[in-house]
Amino acid sequence: MPYSVMIVDDSAVMRGFIRRVLTLSGFEVGECLEASNGEEALAGLEGHSVDVILTDINMPKMNGEELLRRLETDSRLRSVPTLVISTDATKARILKMLSLGAQGYMTKPFSPEALHEELERVLGERNA
Ligand SMILES: [Mg+2]
């Protein structure tokens, strides 16, 4: 079964890159939603259910931290695994995002293999 994915990043180039890397990594992608900030992501998720959310942190309007907070308060969205993809590799930031409910954290740049591995882990947790 292909996975449906929500990619949240303020860079359209990065969203396209993540989408391509998902496919290249052998990850079976079905529906692929995109949003350029947290607000758009929440709006897009209103009528859709996805299997995983990949989100940037630094975005205008609503950043990735606030998005994670909002997801946690939503009974339906709370259970959707989230993977943070950011250039910020500081330990404090990583721990913060994990404490807000993220299941995984990848720093940019990353290889298709690394993304695949992290997604397997994140989705495996959901099925465990
Ligand atoms: Mg950004």
CA atoms within 13 A on the CB side of 58: 9
What's the pLDDT score for residue 125?
A: 53
Verdict on whether the full-model pTM lies above 0.85: yes
61 C-alpha to center of ligand 1: Å? 11
CA distance 126 to 128: 6
What's the pLDDT score for residue 81?
A: 96
Does residue 55 contact residue 9 with C-beta atoms inside 8 Å?
A: yes
57 C-alpha to center of ligand 1: Å? 6
What's the pLDDT score for residue 128?
A: 45
1 C-alpha to center of ligand 1: Å? 30
Mean pLDDT of the chain: 93
110 C-alpha to center of ligand 1: Å? 15
51 C-alpha to center of ligand 1: Å? 22
Assigned token pair, 27: 């990850």
Residue 4 is inside which H or E element, if any?
strand 3-8
72 C-alpha to center of ligand 1: Å? 21
CATH dotted code for 3-127? 3.40.50.2300
Handedness of CA 14, 88, 79, 42 (dihedral sign): negative
128 C-alpha to center of ligand 1: Å? 31
Domain boundaries, the chain: 3-127
Residue 47's pLDDT band (cuts 50, 70, 90): confident
Point out which residues pair with 5 in neighbouring strands: 32, 52
